[in-house]
Structure 1
């Protein structure tokens, strides 16, 4: 006869994570650790290379408005490129999280404008800044694959933003060591290109 108490005392089994998601989590942790360990001088050189490639791309594509990002967690710092773009009349905007399952919104921003922390602790333009729909988005990547699928932080905000029927061009930004192998899932939106510091 089975003792029902044994069954009750057995802890519930956690559902197994999808293999693709499990691999992404491992890659994400490895790449973030590698990014954190970057030599400051080498990082500045890499950031300048990426920034110059961004300026060349914007010029060749006649970009007039661009969604940029405020760097966090060791992302490439491209402020000098933002300054150059703004000086040439390109309208810049920063992303704002408006809901857990919503796409990002973009608020007009100029380098030097004051920023405030949102509920997630991210620096964003003031609520009085006008909303924009940029022609192109600069998308920071933890990693990416050969099909130009982005590996981000796992929140899905950029994927939801790029799933719109009239999506802007999406330009990924990543250090060259972020090129890794993983299979994109159904919700993963491919980028149009990825700018890196590869020589």
Structure 2
């Protein structure tokens, strides 16, 4: 797949307000590029990312993994979720409690009943079992060479990861999400990245 590299570049000396504005522009560009991935190209990329996630789990041996339900053109890894569940991995989905609160993670298995929350995101119907996962697979709108993530701008994962320093973090993205932007003070560097090209991780 051809990689799209947005031409916008940012310097670390820019103010937080300027960085936020720059990221708003970049976010819109990257979402448009991601939305343009269709048909066989998207399907092949999702299959490759899913297989890399399975390979990552084989090596990591994590017992509980927080995943995500794909929205807004995010890589669809639901086939891989079934395989992870068959391996005995306990999956969980993120639950948003409010616009400025950390995420919680509800235990979930493929095939269980789902509902849509107030933000339009599918979540498990049963929210009675919350857990702290061993690792979190985090969808990325953009990802820098240093493995800082650009999300949707709400800061929910940033707030969550700040409270869970021991949890492993895996960014999930298409290669076209690779971009160049300066990290803000609150950004958390991801330990691993999975795209259709493979797995990048700290050693």
TM-score w.r.t. the length of structure 2 is: 0.87
SS of match in other structure, 2:93: strand
Who is 2:70 aligned against? 71
Runs of at least 4 residues off by over 4 Å: none
- What secondary structure is seen at the aligned counterpart in 2 of 1:34? helix
Following the alignment from structure 1 to structure 2, what is the Cα–Cα distance between the partners of residues 188 and 131?
25
Looking at CA atoms only, which structure, 1 or 2, has the larger radius of gyration?
Answer: 1
1:48-197 pair list within 5 angstroms = 48-197=47-196
Tell me what 2:19 maps to: 20
Aligned equivalents of 1:122, 1:148: Cα separation in 2: 25
Number of corresponding residues: 184
Contact 1:161–1:167 at 8 Å: present in 2 too? no
Deviation at 1:128, TM superposition (A): 4.0
Give the drift of 1:127: 4.1
* Partner SS for 1:76: coil
Paired with 1:26 and 1:100, the residues of 2 have a C-alpha distance of: 21
- Equivalent-residue separation in structure 2 for 1:196 and 1:25 (angstroms): 23
Contact 2:34 2:176 in 1 (8 A): no
When structure 1 is superposed on structure 2, of 43-52 and 93-102 the one drifting more is: 93-102
- Cα 1:140–1:165 change in 2 (3 A) is closer
Tell me: higher relative CO, structure 1 or 2? Use CA pairs within 8 A at least 6 residues apart.
2
Number of the residue aligned with 2:9:
none
Q: What SS class does the counterpart of residue 163 from structure 1 fall into?
A: helix
> 1: distance between equivalents of 2:35 and 2:76?
13
- Aligned to 2:71, the other structure's residue is in SS state coil
**Partner secondary structure for residue 41 of structure 2:** helix
Structure 1 residue runs of 5 or longer lacking an equivalent are: 1-15
Normalising by structure 1, we get a TM-score of 0.88
Taking the TM superposition and a 5 Å limit, the aligned residue runs for 1:36-55 are: 36-55=35-54
Q: Secondary structure at the match of 2:118?
A: coil
What is aligned with 1:31? Answer: 30
Q: CA deviation at 1:165?
A: 4.9
Query: Residues 150-190 of structure 1, C-alpha deviation per residue, up to 9 Å, x if partnerless?
Result: 00000000001110154411100001111111000011111
Say if 2:65 and 2:134, in contact at 8 Å, map to a contact too. yes
CA distance in 2, matches of 1:192, 1:179: 16
Root-mean-square deviation (Å): 1.5
Structure 2: distance between partners of 1:194 and 1:89: 23
Shift of 1:17: 7.9
CA contact (8 A) 2:34 2:177 kept: no
Quote how far apart the aligned CAs of 1:98 are.
1.1
